[in-house]
Amino acid sequence: MFSRTLEYALRSAVYLGAMYGKPMTAQQIADATAVPLSYLPKVLQQLVRANLVVGTRGLHGGYVLCRKPKEVSILDVVNAIEPVCRVDQCPLHLPDHNGQLCPLHRRIDDMMKHAQEAFQKTTLGEILAEPGLPDSWKPEVQPTPAATPAPTP
């Protein structure tokens, strides 16, 4: 019931949340999330346009989440991809139900509202806090520069 693109966007967003701060290349994201590498840029582009993600080019570039994972809701991602279409007018705008939504669409809209609220309440941070993430998604332990025998000549 979700479009595939939305699925892709959600996976990417969660992954960027896991790696928060470090720019991730499309290549890396694709590897981690199993989204087709050639399609991924289009998906990420939508997140960029929605100001959820910034993409910087050039060496050491990549995609980074704009806000902290706790501050990004699922709804933000959903809205970036396919705005939850609230039913604001009955598709069959007969003269009969003047202004009001007919019961059918009132119900549908209600369900949309519920879904929307559920989306809004859940943040990337919450999801990341739960156990069960693939190990490879854990932000790799950043070796402190001092501790590593960094061969910087």
Partner DNA sequence: CGATAAATCGACCAATTTGTCTGATTATCG
Partner DNA sequence: CGATAATCAGACAAATTGGTCGATTTATCG
Binding site for DNA (CB under 7 A): 3-5, 8, 24-27, 36-39, 41-42, 44-45, 48, 54-63
What does the alpha-carbon distance between residue 67 and residue 87 come to, in Å, rounded to a whole number?
Answer: 30
Q: Does 54 bind a copy of itself (CB under 8 A)?
A: no
Helix (H, G, I), strand (E, B) or coil at 85: coil
Determine the Cα–Cα distance for residues 117 and 86; give it in Å rounded to an integer: 12
Neighbours of 141 (CB within 10 A): 6
Q: Which is nearer to DNA, 42 or 106 (CB)?
A: 42
**For DNA, the closer CB: 38 or 98:** 38
As a whole number of angstroms, the distance between CA 135 and CA 150 comes to 26
List the structure tokens of 58. Answer: 């050039």
Residues 60-89 contacting a copy of itself, CB under 8 A: 74, 82, 84-85
Contacts with a copy of itself, residue ranges (CB under 8 A):
1-2, 7, 10-11, 14, 33-34, 74, 82, 84-85, 91-92, 94, 96-97, 100-104, 106-108, 111-112, 114-115, 118-119, 122, 127-128, 130-136
